[in-house]
Amino acid sequence: MTWLPSLNTLLLLLVLVLHRPAAAFHVPASKPASPSKAPKSTTILRSASTSTSFDYSMVKGTVDSLPDPSPVDPTYDVFCNRELNMNSLAAIGFDMDYTLAQYHVPEFDNLAFDGAKQKLVDMGYPEEVLGFTYDPSRWIRGLIIDIKRGNFLKIDKHKYTRVAYHGSQEMSSEARKALYAQTFNKKDSFGESFYINMDTLFQIVDAELYSQLIDLKDNNEFEFLDGKTYEEMYRDARACVDLCHRDGVIKDEVARNPAKYVVKDPNMVPMLKQYKEKGIKVFLVTNSLWTYTQDVMSFLVDPEDTESGDWTDLFDLIIVGSCKPAFLVDPRRDLFRVDKASGQLTNTDGVYEIAALNPNGATKFLEQGNVFQNGNFNQLAAMLDLDGKAITGEQILYVGDHLYSDVLRSKRTLGWRTALIVPELEEEMKTSESQKETNEEIMKLRKLRETISVKANALRLLPSNQENDEQLETLLDSDRKIKEALVDIVGSHHKAYNPIWGQLFKAGYEDSRFAYYTANYACLYMTKASNLRYVSDQRAFRTFSNPLPHNSATE
């Protein structure tokens, strides 16, 4: 066979490189190619359907000569999953918590964590619960909580469980596969009611509290906990954390000292003004109630930022207590107007009242007060009425941090354009930069293993003889050594992001569940909402498809 000499050369190189112990294995960075000395050529591109043509080299040269856009910090970028022309938007909406308002961690989370501990003890849980301490570094978003078994899972886009913990203890590979890698038609879909998706940063408090409750139940003998299932313990913890958000444990403390808990972003107000001044309607839809929204937004927006000194002037309309995702799916929910001074609610007839006030019913309706509670998507669309023209889902961009309630639901149900806020992406990007060489080394080794696999496959198809068998064994030995080297390198790379769960957007070598849903339902994503300050109302976002395996095979 004509390929055997080249195979022998490959085998010789592999033996020379891989005779050392696996721990010493290293792939040096490849030497950069020398710049071409060939003279520059002019490329004329011509359309097949018209006579239009242009000088590509001249245009590219002109573009390259322009200064790089600001900001240069990549964490201020806006990333695109689906083509979007900002010029097509009539309205941009925002969530508040973890979108317009970022929080200091762990100070803010400790309010809920400590408050929930006390509430659990008041319910009869052991006093030992008060000794729990909060460690957010143990968690990332995108995990799944199996509340029936007390397990935490990280799955990839194919629903394969890559990492699993029971409480704070890592599950063995055998236990993990026995529970979550059964035959396809028997394994759970992770959509069952006892699976909880960690789609928002608020749920990290739930996960940390629940994890420590599991350990307490498993490692100690408490009659009270013996009578509790894992699911009941999760429900109790979730209820206590939720109560802290409603009874003042969190909100009263934030109101007293907002600077301790809320991150002030100097780019937020200029960003909101930028779009409003261009004639794009700007709205706020948050699950927080009026008093808390008022406290947080009054801290974020200085009185001198608006002509009247009132932060609500930055928005065409504001809806608090929206109860997303119900706001996005239930057309029967009533709309109440909020008196900004007293917080008192007044009934409105919503869509019918706007229609009765026509012409310009939406304008007249909002002139009576632009702050509301409850309501639904139909009423929002009516209030965003554009001079009598109904606004469509494609004309609305909604920006939020909750993967399900803000992004998936608004995209699936209403066809809105969506932007996901991922605050933790900033640190992840910095880690990726520091791990760039390691990642390149991992990719080189994986590609080498694939080459070995292809060559080994060819040898297996040949008649068995001493030469072929020896060559095959040499390949397989080389593959084993590379695999051993990868275990150490990949493990170190994984822990650089998070010591337990690794990268937010990766699960093993596959995209994580979080990455899958982000790519499929978020048109845009970014580290914080104020990154939109660097996006003009005329910006066009474009996507570039990744090649499929067969494309690279024919290159």
Annotated binding-site positions? 95, 97, 401
Length of the chain: 555
User: Could you count the other beta carbons within 10 Å of the beta carbon of residue 377?
Assistant: 22
Token pair 């591109």 is found at 45
Question: How far is the C-alpha of 212 from the C-alpha of 129, rounded, in Å?
Answer: 8
Could you tell me the CA-to-CA distances from 324 to 217, 330, 408 in Å, in that order? 34, 10, 12
In this structure, are strands 281-285 and 317-320 parallel, antiparallel, or unpaired? parallel
Active-site annotation, residues: 95, 97
Q: Enumerate the H helices of 303-424 as residue ranges.
A: 326-329, 351-356, 361-367, 377-383, 409
297, 114 contact by CB (below 8 A): no
Query: Binding site membership for GMP: which residues?
Result: 97
DSSP classification of residue 48:
S
137-147: burial string, b at 16+ Cβ within 10 Å, e else: ebbbbbbbbbb
**263 burial type by CB count under 10 A (0-12 exposed, 13-18 middle, 19+ buried):** middle
In this structure, are strands 169-170 and 195-197 parallel, antiparallel, or unpaired? unpaired
Question: How far is the C-alpha of 246 from the C-alpha of 545, rounded, in Å?
Answer: 45
**407 burial type by CB count under 10 A (0-12 exposed, 13-18 middle, 19+ buried):** buried
Token pair 């359907």 is found at 49
Is the peptide bond preceding residue 69 cis, with omega within 30 degrees of 0?
no
Chain mean position to CA 312:
28
DSSP classification of residue 524:
E
User: Could you count the other beta carbons within 10 Å of the beta carbon of residue 191?
Assistant: 8
- As a whole number of Å, the end-to-end CA separation of the chain is 24
Query: Binding site membership for Mg(2+): which residues?
Result: 95, 401
Q: Which helix (H) or strand (E) holds 53?
A: strand 53-55
3-state secondary structure 469-527: HHHHHHHHHHHHHHHHHHHHHHHHHHHHHCCCCCCCCEECCEEEHHHHHHHHHCCEEEC
67-80: burial string, b at 16+ Cβ within 10 Å, e else: eeeeeeeeebbbbb
77, 532 contact by CB (below 8 A): no
| Contacts with 14 (C-beta within 8 Å, 6 or more apart), sequence order | 452, 474, 475, 478
